[in-house]
Structure 1
């Protein structure tokens, strides 16, 4: 945007025309020496009065994710002169919002006051209280108070002092969603009655296993009794548990059918729903599975056809791959569960938390307020053994006589990108008879020579060259959806079928077709970052780790467990990858959900 030490950027008047609101913003940007290209984003973030807001408060620039505090300060000095102060409440308000938005992009849902104050001081704000108050007065930020646990005991007639509440700041949208999620889960736990008594549930599961011709695993039977008895339940599993998960879902459906409460089964993405449906068919069960977006009848960001006024018509709701659920999606899901509904989240806790803010399953388990039961794994094959080692902190080679796991070394990021494209376009289809359409490249980063953007460019040139008539895309391209829309959610992948006046038609992995009206929601999808792969699985995966990889154990584990039949690891990270698996065991997120649940 702006180099604070440089001369002004090009004059806004030279930029292309636009709406009146955009033109007014460009005029203000020109006065502060900022790029006119920011105008449309500012109008989108601040509304048609963006020019007036920016003229009164140049630090409003910080609503854009690409603007730094130093750049905003430079523009403020250009516009306000000596009136621009480091302790200006407008600056403090903007910096609080900036810090919380940055934290949200990193997955946090709330930041405690002490940590936030320290971050503000590092940006030159000497009086942090006025800055926080100004942010709260603006309405985009909320504060939540939690009373800390006290170990003080009454001593005779002395009354211990009440501790000061701990204060957590959050963006209003995220903070309210997390609060609603916690309260909704408490509601489900408090209003549910057993679907069946434990003996009847055990008999139902045994009969379902006999019908499917499956040996009944005691751990699965015990988990399903818990599902029947408790209103909110987390079923945990490790790598290589696809069969066990499918059996558990099929038995849950049997409990719902015999008790006539109805069942709804969903996965975070259409890809995950399609894979689960195939697994259920493999064990002989016919259960309908939808994506969470389809289950909730998504219309756009935060807009759903299903909710408190029109809940999901099922007394038992099961969601697999639940580590991918963020607080906003989970809040919408719980809101769409009527009082008394049993909610079951099936998850592998070793995976990374969701791409969007929150760590729903992790917090549920940590709160000790919901039932938790473990599902057993299938007999471990090479993929499960590799992932199991990573979950324990070791990245080691495994024996794979059927070429289930192949490590492809590379000396540079450029060579890693070349190997990845070669694998999807030739090696895997030719050697393993897995078509390119069933191979997904997962990258450690989006940018860089071996990031998703660069690899996608090379894949398009090989697999579907064309003029790129729709923002660089053409019919026949594999696409990644990067936003919420009618029937789809971030992380869904599909095939771009056509583009018309109403938007682009994308066929999702479960066979449904959705219309994407916002071109910004569409990206090339042959290669996707790890965060976008959450919630989906593919027959074959090419995991790319370039030299600049700075990962963690959960991220590596998540990438490796997206493959069902074959995994190629393009390894250019040297010892840094094994070190990340060994030394970075978790992704730390600051959230409030566990506290909300404990407060009840």
Structure 2
């Protein structure tokens, strides 16, 4: 990429030495056991990592077995604490469902059909009624194409919406009871693990944490940042001679750990061959038998979806896993998944199919017959694709619906998206009931049309809750730019729905304007070309090393962009590949704080006026400013909303926010953006990453360029990294693809 001109250049300087060797930012398979700085880059539809996808790493002390020091590993996954808490809650619900003997399964609204069949299969294996091999006959493997969705509640009438009470300033989750904390500390000390893990263990495992660890020391693996070798050392200290590599408790914990790591990279399932290989690498004596035992106990679920795929190396092994099963003799990938993602994908597929089968609605006949109006009038599920400028089209559809007397809501990924589109609500606020129309007496949204912008940011669990809440007869439009990075959480909802072609797809013809729009449009088709930028809308600033990249970034934000473009530092966002490295978010934020808001960091490293990135839940980033701190915690101003982050969560949930990763910045835009590409960032680049980062600036884009030919090569040759998901074959089994 060549620059039309360097525009507002700061003076060249390289006062700092280049940082450590380049981190391996390439996307990892879920079987990988290492990650640089606790972060993995995304290669396209990929997640930049648990730490990068809007999820700050914690400064938690080392997590290790006796004699092991691993401070960075402890930080690696601490931002997933909220997700693990949600997992415990989901598992409790699953256990309640398993206890029910007959009838539909309650989940806000009722689950039935294939989702109920899935849970029934789990119960059958656990009770011994069916062998574990029965799982290899997936309920979706072929016959589901003729299956009809179960009847659902009638379309709601004009009843008064049920609206939960809106909470006050946000606070985090409640800390564990003192007696729980003390009991956990005692067990950790006995096993030789650091006491600094106490709060994390108590939070992750709950009130019975101490007893659970004594009964099964490998439960320590459920704590973010703990690695298998560390859990093994802890188990040896507690169990002594009873501890062995083939222990069934160890195998189950390793499989779950592997699948949880895969979810952090966006996968909802893994091929069984990859899981077996990972068990073999961990010295499990008989990986095949161990995996079958884990399946038989219901710790993981097994699926065979879709048609046989040529060249799948796993076919022979899968035939051995289910002898006598003709279907298993075919070369069909066998997938393993955790129940939480299986339930979510099954429920999402059923709910999307229900909407797609919704018939025409005559009430739309009075509207101006645009492509979107015709599609929505004909059926209940529509996708819409396009860039930033195209957001006006689905927003206009909502306005047309309102003019017809219909109840329409537009939902976006972030508060900033709502700012750019007046009247929109956030997806999180809609689900929580704090924004939007509330719900009817059946628990469905009290609306006729829901338009969801930023649809690529929907992970499978969020999407399942959202779509299952749609009323019968309602219309759902999922709109977004497929060129952007996929969701930070597990799943590839928008991409899978587009690929399945089971509903009308409306592609916008509205291009993004100006030099930035022209540049980004080219990137979307794999071309990185020079664009004319007479107003210095696009500026390339070459650098030699990471030290110079940091120096020039500070100069751009503090001096050059305000002077030449007229955008103040508060409206300029720095975007880089990862948190670590000599020019990652940590180094950049430290330099920007020193220049823009120097201070001692007396509030846990923060001072009033600091820009921060607050992560209330995995994958969701809220930019804010530090106001103050007291015994309650750190007080933030997030787009005018008062937020209190409890002091015990500040370290894991709040980062300085002058610089963010591309995943953190997705769904938001600023008047100016400075994208920093030091030499050690080359392996983390892909077309979706560049597309996302370069499109965050509304008026101006500066590129601090130190990756040479790696940038055009990434745009041309690294279009995406696939995620292993089940939604597409599930949808194709329920609905015939649309030509």
Q: Indicate conservation of the 8 Å contact 2:516/2:538, yes or no.
A: yes
Residue 413 of structure 2, aligned match among 237, 255, 268 = 268
Q: Indicate conservation of the 8 Å contact 1:9/1:34, yes or no.
A: no
Shift of 1:267: 1.0
Which residue of structure 2 aligns with residue 163 of structure 1? 327
Which residue of structure 2 aligns with residue 188 of structure 1? 355
Shift of 1:529: 0.9
In 2 relative to 1, CA 261–468 (structure 1 residues): closer, same or farther, beyond 3 Å? same
Deviations 1:535-575 (A, max 9, x none): 11111111111211122111111111112111111112222
1:537 matches 2:695: no
Q: Aligned-pair RMSD on alpha carbons?
A: 3.1
Map residues 463-478 of structure 1 onto 2, 5 A cutoff.
463-478=596-611
Which residue of structure 2 aligns with residue 216 of structure 1? none
Q: Indicate conservation of the 8 Å contact 2:536/2:700, yes or no.
A: yes
Deviations 1:373-409 (A, max 9, x none): 1001336521122212222223333221111111111
2: distance between equivalents of 1:387 and 1:42?
Answer: 44
1:234 matches 2:383: yes
Residue 490 of structure 1, aligned match among 610, 617, 620 = 620
Which residue of structure 1 aligns with residue 519 of structure 2? 386
Residue 328 of structure 1, aligned match among 455, 461, 470 = 461
Other structure's SS at 1:483 match: strand
In 2 relative to 1, CA 258–343 (structure 1 residues): closer, same or farther, beyond 3 Å? same
Which residue of structure 1 aligns with residue 506 of structure 2? 373
1: distance between equivalents of 2:425 and 2:446?
Answer: 14
2: distance between equivalents of 1:9 and 1:597?
Answer: 43
Other structure's SS at 2:728 match: helix
Which residue of structure 2 aligns with residue 406 of structure 1? 539
In 2 relative to 1, CA 135–413 (structure 1 residues): closer, same or farther, beyond 3 Å? farther
TM-score (norm 2): 0.68
Shift of 1:106: 0.7
Higher relative contact order structure (alpha carbons within 8 Å, sequence separation ≥ 6): 2
In 2 relative to 1, CA 516–175 (structure 1 residues): closer, same or farther, beyond 3 Å? farther
Deviations 1:2-57 (A, max 9, x none): 777958999xxxxxxx9343333333333433322222211211123322222232
Q: Indicate conservation of the 8 Å contact 1:271/1:508, yes or no.
A: no
Deviations 1:90-130 (A, max 9, x none): 11011001101110111111113233223222322243355
Which residue of structure 1 aligns with residue 472 of structure 2? 339
Structure 2 stretches of 5 or more lacking a match?
1-61, 72-176, 310-323, 735-739
Residue 246 of structure 2, aligned match among 87, 92, 99 = 87
2: distance between equivalents of 1:541 and 1:365?
Answer: 30
In 2 relative to 1, CA 513–193 (structure 1 residues): closer, same or farther, beyond 3 Å? farther
Q: Indicate conservation of the 8 Å contact 2:372/2:397, yes or no.
A: no
In 2 relative to 1, CA 499–91 (structure 1 residues): closer, same or farther, beyond 3 Å? same
1: distance between equivalents of 2:252 and 2:376?
Answer: 46
Residue 27 of structure 1, aligned match among 183, 186, 201 = 186
Which residue of structure 2 aligns with residue 524 of structure 1? 656
Structure 1 stretches of 5 or more lacking a match?
11-17, 152-159, 206-220, 278-287
Q: Indicate conservation of the 8 Å contact 1:231/1:343, yes or no.
A: yes
Q: Greater CA deviation, 355-364 or 575-584?
A: 575-584
2: distance between equivalents of 1:122 and 1:591?
Answer: 24
1: distance between equivalents of 2:438 and 2:597?
Answer: 36
2: distance between equivalents of 1:192 and 1:182?
Answer: 18
2: distance between equivalents of 1:401 and 1:481?
Answer: 37
Q: Indicate conservation of the 8 Å contact 2:372/2:394, yes or no.
A: no
Q: Greater CA deviation, 518-527 or 383-392?
A: 518-527
Which residue of structure 2 aligns with residue 427 of structure 1? 560
Shift of 1:432: 0.7
2: distance between equivalents of 1:228 and 1:331?
Answer: 23
TM-score (norm 1): 0.83
Residue 282 of structure 2, aligned match among 119, 123, 133 = 123
Q: Indicate conservation of the 8 Å contact 2:515/2:532, yes or no.
A: yes
How many pairs does the alignment contain? 546
Shift of 1:327: 1.3
